[in-house]
Chains A and B, each alone.
Chain A
Amino acid sequence: MIKKENEMKTKLLFAGTVACAAFSLTSCFESSSTNKGYRAANASATYVAPGEKDEYYLFYSGGHSGQVFVAGIPSMRHITTIPVFSPYSGTGYGYDEESKKMLGQYTWGDVHHPALSQTQSKYDGRWLFVNDNANNRVARIDLRDFKTHQILGPIPNSMGNHGSSFVTENTEYLLVATRFSVPLPKGRVADPNDYPKEFNGMVSAIKVDPQTGNMSVAWQILTPPFDWDLASTGKGPSSGWAFWTSYNSEMAHDVLEVNSTQMDRDYSAIVNWRAAEQAVAQGKAQEMAGVPVLDPAKVPGILYFLPIGKSPHGVDTDPTGKWLAYGGKLQPSVTVVNFEKLKAAIDNKTFSGEVRGIPVVKYEAVVEGEVPVGLGPLHTQFDGVGNAYTSLFIDSNITKWKLPPWSDDERKDMTKTVLDKVPTHYSTGHLVVAGSDTAHPYGKWLVAMNKLSAGRHINVGPSQPESSQLIDITGAKMKMVYETYTEAEPHFAQILKVSDVQPIEAYPKQENHDPNAVWDKAQTGVTRNGNKVEAKVIAIRSRFIPDRIDAQVGDDLTIHVTNVEQTRDMIHGFGVVENNINMVMDPGETKTLHMKVTKPGVFPFYCTNFCSALHQEMQGYLVFANTGQPMPGAVYTNTPGAPQPGPTIPSVDTKGTATESPVPATENPEAGPPIPPASPNAASSASSNASAPASPAESASPQP
């Protein structure tokens, strides 16, 4: 019996070894890596104990969820979601007028590439820009409040905003390019069979106001209808330049899988954006759909092509600005271009030809080498100490390699520049090294964003999450230390040191310039002008003032709610049942909603964001009377002689039974005795409010 068991073990071991050798070295490495000591060391490397905080922010793009996810590093815990292109009831985004207006006609976007604002090629902690691949937009998130403040677009003459958003070294511009080409200007119709003739792509420069961050479309460069993929901006020696990869230099319009992959190399766009800026200033652009557009065939010196193998995906400029790393995607190598040679080739016109009047730089003159990283190289990141890290989609790993300068020995055998590999699970798309796109990367951590999680997690059904893996890059060998899952679908991320940003925790009252903000009970109320009803409401623990708003069918109802709290995390919601409304006001914030009253009824509204012990009690009523049949208890503060929402009498105790009140109970328990607006009472209460220190709580709390 024992013998048999041993025999069995041997057989299994043997089988296991063969399996490892035959199929994957990965799993062998893994089984050895799951020993106790290894686990404990990794666990402690990422462990952020309760009450402790992470060292870095990880801003993930949320792909077609239209959002940005914020996680902490090293814990990898998801901390918050910043809605950008999709409504998000959790923060009331897309329900109030301001965010509804920003979203416009769209309910989704496709966020691919977040970019932190930079000053002198260093993160300045001001803004995070993201693109919308689907609807040709860009958005700005302010890192002061982690909120979306502007959505720009759809960008004219631009279709498929994928190669976006890449900030220049002082955030002068976001540079973006089209993934899709269409007949321009948009709206013009042409037969896709005439693709090369009728269709065009575009590189666009989005100007960023250095004070406010406000974005506007500055100028564009017309391009042949290649499919621009990803980009990188220059710094140091490559300052003032930007680089895009493309697939489909073949200019195919159908079965791209085949027809766009015929050539060994596709053109990278080498853009001198400072020269383009200058050419626009000199009036060399022609207007198309309101945007100055440069034709690079007529304006030399702004655009060059460089052939790169094959259907390359990512291009990344290293922290010194000298090296460009192109991920070969369909060839097993990263092409390293020396920008100084590229610049010399452009200056000396070392061209191998031209395409549509645009010079093609001679490949051999500028390429430093092709690093044999493995199958499916997509993106490269840098640690600032001479190493590069490339994601291999097909091989499913991260490969670490050495940036030039290379020794003669290494040049002879380029495999010697490959330093290390760590398996990922599975099919890594983008990867991010902390601060890689700055002149001074933080290094330390790498996050691999994997396209397939393929059963690594507990089974959650067919709609599977994406996986992200945290890799420690401090040692000579990379070390995978953590794995987590996100919803669809991170494409790229940015890592920002927590100490490099100073967000607020509440909106200071002094900075609320909303003309409809109310901070004092005396300013609240409902007014009627014709069929326009406007309510100014305070939200404070644990009530709305007023908590009754009357309107009639056919009215235009506007409700402004100010959360007068100034304490962090005292967030109030304003959800209206059966009306598809949920505004959420952070402390110190005012939000507005408009609605056309279409159906009669009494609709409760309530605080949706749990605030306090009496959160459940924080509720009120929208009373929508039939047209011409106002409720007798309806209160409008601008109607002469109408009851004011003056001194409040706590007429109902917590058990809901009426208690003693000096005022006879009416249908409107909130209404005090009628006080003409000019009465001495009102005047004195107003003046005492004026002299009192800023104290919303004081004015809002019940007075005995």
Chain B
Amino acid sequence: MNISELLRREFRFLSRPLNLRSRLLLLAAAITIAVSLFFPLWRMHLVAPQYSDGLDLYIYTYKIVGGGLNGQHLNEINGLNHYIGMKPIQQADFLEMRWMPFVFGLIILMILRSIVFGSMGNLVDLFAVYCYFGIFSIASFWYRLYTYGHNLDPHAPVRIKPFTPLLIGVKQIANFREYSFPQLGAILLCASVLMIMLAGWFSRKEPFA
């Protein structure tokens, strides 16, 4: 098989129409993404002897919310962090929270476009953008954590070695045990990725009209 043949097959594959099952799956993916916006993506749970019930931070695509009455845990975490000179965590600093909902809207639009135009090429576009966005977001989240843990005020009362709070898993930081895990929002987003992949799979051999 020569290169030209390969390119032709690639072109033919990208022009394949999406069948009903795939389009319904895409619709489900769009709805799943829309629903995920209402749920937290991530939860950081901090437990110490003095905080036996734990302190919670819930991260949404567009906001960051503390656990407890009136989101009090965020204040408490900031209050504790000031001892080690960590910058207060505040939503206004999270620029990505302003554009993330917009990007999710864009992804949903691309899904709807794929449903309407109905070709494999649209789906590949969508998948590539979505994956890029997803990986970028996780990397940016990690960078946030790195920044918070490494830009410590040198005049803070308690000096500790710079650190990166854990993105996923369990870690001991001083007297706190940090549990950081994805929540329903993130799980729904993963499910939407899976649905998009399945949509492609189900139409991979779809005959041309």
Contact = CB atoms under 8 A, between A and B. Distances in A.
B88 A695 contact: yes
A566 interface: yes
A693 interface: yes
Interface of B: 68-72, 74-76, 78-79, 81-83, 85, 87-88, 90-92, 153-158
A332 to B, nearest CB: 54
Interface in A613-635: 613-614, 617
Contact of B70 (A510, A650, A697, A704): A510
A567 B157 CA distance: 21
- B81, B154, B155: residue with the most chain A Cβ atoms closer than 10 Å: B155
A614 B156 CA distance: 12
Contacts of A540: 79
A1 interface: no
Given A509-B70, A659-B155, A701 B82 contact: yes
Among B74, B87, B153, B157, the one with the most A-chain Cβ atoms within 10 Å of its Cβ is B157
B85 A704 contact: yes
A459 interface: no
Given A566-B70, A697-B82, A702 B76 contact: no
B153 A702 contact: yes
A630 to B, nearest CB: 30
The 9 closest A-B pairs by CB, nearest first: A701-B82, A697-B79, A698-B88, A650-B155, A697-B78, A704-B153, A566-B72, A697-B75, A567-B76
Contact of A698 (B68, B83, B90, B157): B90
19 contacts: A540-B79, A566-B72, A566-B75, A650-B153, A688-B92, A693-B91, A694-B70, A694-B71, A694-B75, A696-B79, A697-B79, A697-B82, A698-B90, A701-B79, A701-B81, A702-B153, A702-B156, A704-B154, A704-B155
A692 interface: yes
Contacts of A688: 92
Nearest to B69: A508
A368 interface: no
A617 B92 CA distance: 31
Contacts of A613: 83, 158
Interface string A102-139: 00000000000000000000000000000000000000
A565 interface: yes
A695 B66 CA distance: 11
B126 to A, nearest CB: 35
Contacts of A140: none
A697 B87 CA distance: 11
A567 B72 contact: yes
B2 to A, nearest CB: 62
Contact of A508 (B70, B91, B92): B70
A651 to B, nearest CB: 9
A702 B70 contact: no
Nearest to B87: A704
A31 interface: no
B93 to A, nearest CB: 10
Contact of B92 (A565, A650, A691): A691
A508 B154 CA distance: 33
A694 B73 CA distance: 11
A693 B90 contact: yes
B57 to A, nearest CB: 13
Given A509-B70, A613-B83, A704-B85, A695 B157 contact: no
Nearest to B53: A568
A541 interface: yes
Given A694-B70, A701-B88, 9 more contacts: A541-B83, A566-B70, A567-B76, A613-B158, A693-B71, A693-B74, A693-B90, A693-B91, A697-B78
Given A691-B92, A704-B85, A698 B70 contact: no
A698 B78 contact: yes
A617 B83 CA distance: 12
Given A701-B79, A704-B155, A695 B74 contact: yes
The CB with the most chain B CB atoms within 10 A, among A540, A692, A695, is that of A695
A701 B81 CA distance: 9
In this complex, the member of B72, B74, B85, B87 whose beta carbon has the largest number of chain A beta carbons within 10 angstroms is B72
Interface in A664-704: 688, 691-698, 700-702, 704
Contacts of A694: 70-71, 75
B155 A692 contact: no
A346 to B, nearest CB: 54
Given A692-B92, A693-B90, A693-B91, A698 B155 contact: no
Contacts of A700: 82
Contacts of B85: 702, 704
A408 B49 CA distance: 64
Contacts of B71: 693-694
Contact of B155 (A565, A696, A702): A702
A702 B82 contact: yes
Contact of A654 (B76, B154, B157): B157
A692 B153 CA distance: 21
Nearest to B79: A697
B76 A695 contact: no
B122 to A, nearest CB: 40
A692 B79 contact: no
Interface string A58-101: 00000000000000000000000000000000000000000000
Contacts of A541: 79, 83
A653 interface: yes
A508 B155 CA distance: 32
Interface string A183-211: 00000000000000000000000000000
Contacts of B76: 566-567, 697
Interface string A517-548: 00000000000000000000000111000000
A382 B197 CA distance: 73
A578 to B, nearest CB: 28
Nearest to B154: A704
A541 B92 CA distance: 24
A701 B78 contact: yes
A614 B85 CA distance: 14
Nearest to A660: B155
Interface string A241-285: 000000000000000000000000000000000000000000000
Interface in A537-563: 540-542
